[in-house]
Structures are given as structure tokens and as C-alpha cells.
Structure 1
Amino acid sequence: MRKGVFFVLVQFGCIFYLLFTGNVFAKHTFLLLLECLGIFVGVWAILIMVKTSQISITPEVKPAAKLVIKGPYQWIRHPMYTAILVTFLPLIIEHYSIDRIITYLLLTVDLLLKLHYEENLLTEKFGDSYISYQSQSKRLLPFIY
């Protein structure tokens, strides 16, 4: 099994577990707004990738791939991962249990490992262009990380 496929299987396993063991939408207004922000960022990132024909469920880089630095990608290199973490955090806060917290932590670790793996592949593919892009953007959180 390819490493990228493993990361995706863990990611979706965690997401499905979190969806089926709690509410899909937060009830508290602030948490719902945070969840909606995550969904918005995710949809925006997906639309940018679809528009540029770059969408892929695994982190492996397609041979004809082009470096995308528009939309949310101008500030963060992995907005879809950010969207997942931001979308699910309010659901964990509102309906927390040890198993859900552990699952969220596993999801976070999986996405961090996946993004490091993906960044190595992107550096191999795009070289100095990607290194320059890394110096102008953050991984997950604008201006922070």
C-alpha cells in the first residue's frame, strides 16, 4: 500500500468515526460559526483545485501538476487540512469524550505526517518554486504555522 493511501484511509476513518459518534453541526453559535468557517475554507480550497484540474485525494503529485498559489493557498499551503481540523474542533468541544478526543488527535497527527510527506513530494516536483512559496506562506494557520 502506498504511504499516501494509508494517510487517506486513516484520515477518512477518523472523520467517519467523529461524524457517527456526535452531532454533525454544532449547537452553540460561536462553535457553529467556527465550523462554518472550516467548511467555507475547505470548499474554497476544493474549488480552486478543481478549477486548476489539480484535485487528488492522495498527497502524491500528478505528473502534469502545476503549483497552485491562489485563493486560500496564497496564505496557507494545506487549506483542506486546515478546514478539516477547524470543522471538527467545535464538534469535539461540544460533544467531547475520551475516544473522540483521541480520534481528533489521531486525525491531527495523521494530517501533520501527511502534509510533511506531501511537502517533500512537492519540493521534489517544483524545486525552488516550492521552496520560495514555502517562505511566503504557512502550513496550516495563516501568520502562525
Structure 2
Amino acid sequence: MSSKAYSYLLVSLQFIFIAILLVEHGLHTPSNFALLIFLLGCGFGLYTVRHNPLGNFNITPEIKENASLITTGAYRYIRHPMYFSVLVMMLGVVVSKPTILSFLIYTLLIITLFLKAKKEEMLWMEHSSEYTTYMRKTKRIIPFIL
């Protein structure tokens, strides 16, 4: 499978898993705790977007031609803050109405985002000599942990 096809497969899986979680949980009223988790994820995502201009941002793990390495804001601590944001938001969805299916789909989403992160990092190492140094200073997805 080509590199771009693999990237598009990962993005497709990501959105399929998110859609399944959202459909599985329907339009019921979430608990305050679930809503808080979801909103924290949204807030973190907005904070992240503030530091990464849209022209630099890519939905696939492929690196844009003129992309620059961002090391400010959330990127100072983790290399993939948008993936972290998605995971926190979807955790809020899962917590709102936990089922075996939702935990299974959430686990598949985690695996998909880790594969996307790994692919993106491999491409960044080819694209930028400073990325290896950046990797040593930051965690992959979860601040201060992983």
C-alpha cells in the first residue's frame, strides 16, 4: 500500500470510529462530568489551533510542502495535541453512555491515532533535521506521560 493510501486509510478509520461513537450515543443528555470532559477536549483543541496556522495543518499524516515545525503552545509538551484533543472529546462521549461497543470503538480510535502519529513522525524525520531533537524533548500524545 502506498504511503498516501495508508494515510487516507488512517484518516478514514478515524472518522468512521468517531461517527460510530457519536451515532451510538445519539442525542441523549450527557452527564455534567461527560460534558466537562468533552468541553476540555474542545478547549484544548482550540488552544492548539491558535498555535498552528491552518495553512500548516493537515488532516492526513502527510507533511505539507511548506510546513514548518511548531514548538509553541501545546506543541511544547506533546507532538500531536490535536490527537490528544480528539481522544479527550471522544472520552467524554464514551463516558456519557458507556457500553462495551463504545469502549471497543474508542480503543480502535486510540490505535488509529497512534498509527497516524507514528506515520507523521516518520515523515517529519525525513522532512526536518530538527524533528529528532524535538522528539526527545516532548511526549507523543499525552502530556508528561506518553
Task: Return the letter of the residue paired with 1:140.
Answer: I
How large is the Cα RMSD of the aligned pairs? 1.8
Deviation (angstroms), 1:67: 0.6
Task: Return the letter of the residue paired with 2:41.
Answer: G
Q: Which residue of 2 aligns with 1:72?
A: 74
Aligned residues: 143
Q: Which residue of 2 aligns with 1:91?
A: 93
Picking from 27, 44, 50, the partner of 1:41 is 44
- Runs of 4+ residues over 3 Å off in structure 1: 23-26
Q: Which residue of 2 aligns with 1:29?
A: 32
Unaligned runs of 5+ in 1: none
Q: Determine the C-alpha separation between the residues in 1 that align with 2:142 and 2:28.
A: 23
Matches within 5 A, 1:1-145: 2-23=5-26, 27-50=30-53, 53-127=55-129, 129-145=130-146
Deviation (angstroms), 1:23: 4.7
Q: Determine the C-alpha separation between the residues in 2 that align with 1:121 and 1:16.
A: 27
Q: Determine the C-alpha separation between the residues in 2 that align with 1:116 and 1:35.
A: 25
Q: Determine the C-alpha separation between the residues in 2 that align with 1:30 and 1:93.
A: 8
Q: Determine the C-alpha separation between the residues in 2 that align with 1:144 and 1:88.
A: 19
1:102–1:133 Cα change, 3 Å: same
Which piece of structure 1 moves more, 20-29 or 105-114? 20-29
Q: Determine the C-alpha separation between the residues in 1 that align with 2:38 and 2:93.
A: 8
TM-score norm. by structure 2 comes to 0.89
Which piece of structure 1 moves more, 93-102 or 65-74? 93-102
Q: Determine the C-alpha separation between the residues in 2 that align with 1:17 and 1:3.
A: 21
Deviation (angstroms), 1:93: 2.1
Q: Determine the C-alpha separation between the residues in 1 that align with 2:144 and 2:113.
A: 19
1:24–1:114 Cα change, 3 Å: farther
TM-score norm. by structure 1 comes to 0.90
